[in-house]
Structure 1
Amino acid sequence: MDSGAIRRRVALGLAVLTASGLLAVACPGSAQAASYCSGHKVRTVPFATGSVQLYRSGGYVCAMTVPKKQQSRKRPMSVSVQARGNRPVVDAGRFVHHAGPVTVHAGHRCVRIRGSVGSGSVSSGWILC
């Protein structure tokens, strides 16, 4: 490769990085949510201290717990997704922004989601049947 081709590739790479950075700054909420779970949002299950957001893509279900109020300190959070007939997939710990994402292959089976932020929690029962 000659030096002109290398310069063009570097310039193209820099342009792509700059454009993606500008998109992340221009719409941080949508860029952030889209990067965690793939697919389309099918349900939001709210509770006193936050909500569990549920996404579906093909036969896969992805969930994450988001607190109602954003703070800069870590607090206990959890999220779990269980396809009927399988064990739940859990992400629990002390987080600042969200718990998860957790993804399971549900196919056409019902799923149960659970989530908590601090002392508040929710359990959905069997949904998406």
Structure 2
Amino acid sequence: MFELWRKPGSGAGLAPVRPPVRGSVRVPPRGPGAGRWAAGLTAAAAVALALVVPGAQPASAASGCPGHEVRSVGFTTGRLQVYRTGQYVCAVTLARKPGARRQMSVQLQVRGGRPVSDSGRFTRLAGPVRVRAVNRCVRAVGAVSGKKGASGWFLC
């Protein structure tokens, strides 16, 4: 797939360097040429990702929360998004029109526990906040500029 070039010990020409192959998995080289091999691999991965879906990002990348979206609540000035991955639930509040700093908050609570929140003056999003929620109900509240949206209890 990729060939790296190095100068042979005594000759003036260039000779290809191929990493050793064990089974069907290529083992990266060690030593002075290893950085070029990793850089080539990184560039190839970036090109491959760009070719899959140009301009598209997973929703979790835009929000900062891992996992898949389980609840989304829109309100006049923003959107509350809740994600789940394994035993954890994560929430963020996104401003409908990012730009100027304004008061924003996000709060996530497991039934029977204390709420975890993030609030302040932000331009785009408040959060992420994360709680461990194994077999427990969860509720989330998000607010932007005094307007809020709440999920109610879910994941029960």
Counterpart CA distance in 2 for 1:7 and 1:29 is 29
* Partners of 1:69 and 1:8 in 2: CA distance: 43
Write 1 or 2 for the structure with the bigger share of helix. Answer: 1
Match of residue 93, structure 1, among 101, 105, 120 = 120
Mapped contact 1:65–1:98 kept (Cα < 8 A): yes
Q: CA deviation at 1:49?
A: 1.1
Match of 1:39 among 52, 67, 71: 67
Asked which structure has the greater RCO (Cα within 8 Å, sep 6+), the reply is: 1
> What is the RMSD computed on CA atoms of the aligned residues?
2.6
Q: What are the superposed Cα offsets for residues 6-26 of structure 1, whole Å, 9 maximum, x if unpaired? A: 432333344445666888972
Contact between 1:52 and 1:66, CA under 8 Å: does it hold in 2?
Answer: yes
Q: Is the 2:93–2:142 contact (alpha carbons within 8 Å) kept by the matching residues of 1? A: yes
Aligned residues: 127
Equivalents in 2 of 1:22, 1:118: separation in Å? 39
Of all paired residues, the percent bearing the same amino acid is 46
Cα 1:73/1:22, change in 2 over 3 Å: farther
> Structure 2-normalised TM-score?
0.68
What does the per-residue CA deviation read over 1:25-83, in whole Å, with 9 as the maximum and x for residues that have no partner?
A: 722564733x611111111112121111011112211111011222x221110000000
Contact 1:24 1:31 in 2 (8 A): no
Structure 2 partner of 1:63: 91
Q: Distance in 2 between matches of 1:23 and 1:100?
A: 29
Match of 2:109 in 1: 82
Listed as ranges, the gaps of 5+ residues in structure 1 are none
Q: Is the 8 A contact 2:60 2:66 kept in 1?
A: no
Give a deviation string over 1:67-100, Cα, whole Å, max 9, x none: 1222x22111000000011100001011111111
If you compute each CA radius of gyration, which structure gives the higher value, 1 or 2? 2
SS in 1 for 2:136: coil
